[in-house]
Amino acid sequence: MATTDSYIRVTRRDGIARIEFFHPQSNSLPSALLGQLADAVRHEGTNPESRVIILQSGGEKAFCAGASFDELSSIRTEEQGRTFFNGFAQVINACRTSPKIIIGRVQGKAVGGGVGLAAATDHCFASEAASIKLSELAVGIGPFVVGPAVERKIGLSAFSTLTLDATEFYPASWAQAHGLYADVFETTALLDVAVDAFATKLAASNTDALRELKAIFWQGTETWETLLPERAAISGRLVLSDFAQKAIAAFKAK
């Protein structure tokens, strides 16, 4: 039976830690869930029982719909907005600074912050259903917090395209061609086989070598510890604009 309750679930087997998040509203992420997700990533990064991490969402449809519109609509001050968007900054920085390689499993559509989560992994697999959209501009904000992670993966030109074309989904094949996904599979079953096989291979590798490689992969991102919270403040201010408030209300009314 499918659950209607949100959760962060961590399971471990043979050196592989699987972190799964779920929210009944298309795996959207409210503050509480973002905080728990960041904590889980940090914990598994230091857990000696975990040699590699898989980041995934529950359910068979959307990977992640991004920010919780229920929470967005309840923001009344810039500080509340900054705190909310900083939740995404915390998750991205937790992935960035984790000494463990993080494998992404994207089984469905990724929107906004969901694209940022996929970009924050070190190696990401997806299904053909995993189209992507950076929808923030359409609601009067912008992908300020997730932008550095997405741009790092796909480059400035492709990031600009996604950012400005904020109402359109781009197919998984496009995301693969631009470097967000390492490989794309026809079905979720084939996706899971590939993710499990790759995680098993990495779990058998030299953890010291993987740690050194991870540090090299993320060289040049040290400023993100302050950059992403600064970007969160921009989003926290813009979400209070008349444009954003009307756009969020219209979205919720659909």
> pLDDT tens digits, residue range 3-47?
579 999 999 999 999 999 999 999 999 999 999 999 999 999 999
What domains are defined for the chain? Answer: 7-203 (3.90.226.10)
Per the listing, tokens 């600064």 go with 230
Beta strands in the chain (DSSP E): 7-13, 16-22, 52-57, 102-106, 110-111, 123-127, 132-133, 183-185
In whole angstroms, how far apart are CA 184 and each of 26, 123, 130, 161, 248?
Answer: 21, 12, 9, 21, 32
User: Does the global pTM surpass 0.75?
Assistant: yes
**Whole-angstrom Cα distance, residue 243 to residue 220?**
35
3 state SS of 122:
coil
Q: What is the pLDDT of residues 166-184, one digit of tens each?
A: 999 999 999 999 999 999 9
